[in-house]
Homo-oligomer: A and B are copies of this chain.
Amino acid sequence: MTEKRASIGARRNPDTEAAVLNAATQILAEAGIAGLRMEAVAKRARAGKATLYRWWPTRGALLLAVYRRMKTEDVYADTGSLEGDIAGVLRLVFGHWRRETGAVFRSIIAAAQVEPDVAEALAEFRLERRTALLAVIARAERRGELPAGLVPERLAEAVIATLWFKLLSHDLDDDPDALARVLTQSWSKG
């Protein structure tokens, strides 16, 4: 990393952005969302407060930027069955959240209740996840696996609801297979 960042002209300095996001990520890890103070982030990043406010006008904006940088592109593997695929999704997301991003996403849900821009971004995240899940369900449909009457959108939402609920309940160690079984109602097929 450059020892001394400064202006690179009349445009955003990527070094500064990186320093700020790193600082915010560290602080989040150390002190949680309650410790994520604009002033502290600026100080730790050796950035001016004005600079911070210029690019991330609210705590929520900063939070979102951190999360976006952490988020990896999930690829949902094909296990050959809907139940297995859903279990895979749960396992994958729980894994990410347990390792690092869980606390941040939890904070985003909390912040979304207060800051409208975060609420908007959260809605967008939800839709993104929904789209990905619909692809998984469509795959099962192509396999002819879907029971009659199942509405893909409803199932996708139920999966997201389960994910959020487990995150907010601090219960990310629950069994993804059991959860997937409930969601896909496999008992009805026995």
Interfacial chain B residues near A155, Cβ < 8 Å: 182
Which residues 151-171 of A have a CB within 8 angstroms of B? Answer: 151, 154-155, 157-158, 160-162, 164-166, 168-170
Bound form: Cα–Cα A151–B178 in Å: 10
* A34 interface hit (Cβ, 8 Å): yes
Copies in the assembly, this chain: 4
> Is the CB of A186 closer than 8 A to any CB of chain B?
yes
Residues in B neighbouring A149, C-beta threshold 8 A: 181, 186-188, 190
Indicate the member of A114, A123, A157, A185 with the most B CB atoms within 10 Å. Answer: A185
Binds B, one of A11-19, A75-83, A87-95, A105-113: A105-113
The size of the chain A interface, using a CB distance under 8 A, is 43
Residue of B nearest to A164 (CB): B165
Q: How far apart are A89's CB and chain B's nearest CB, in angstroms?
A: 15
Nearest residue, chain B, Cβ from A107: B113
Q: A1 interface residue, CB < 8 Å from B?
A: no
Contact B182 A123 (CB under 8 A): no
Q: Is the CB of B158 within 8 A of A183?
A: yes
A179 to B153, CA, bound (A): 11
Please measure, in the bound complex, the distance between the C-alpha atom of A183 and the C-alpha atom of B185, giving whole angstroms: 9
Q: Is A8 an interface residue (CB 8 A)?
A: no
**A72: shortest Cβ distance to chain B, in Å?**
23
In the assembled complex, which residues on chain B have CB atoms less than 8 Å from the CB atom of A107?
Answer: 113
* Interface of A toward B, CB cutoff 8 Å: 32-34, 106-107, 109-114, 119, 123, 126, 147-151, 154-155, 157-158, 160-162, 164-166, 168-170, 178-179, 181-183, 185-190
List 5 additional A-B contacts (Cβ < 8 Å) besides A110-B110, A154-B179: A109-B168, A154-B181, A155-B182, A158-B158, A164-B164
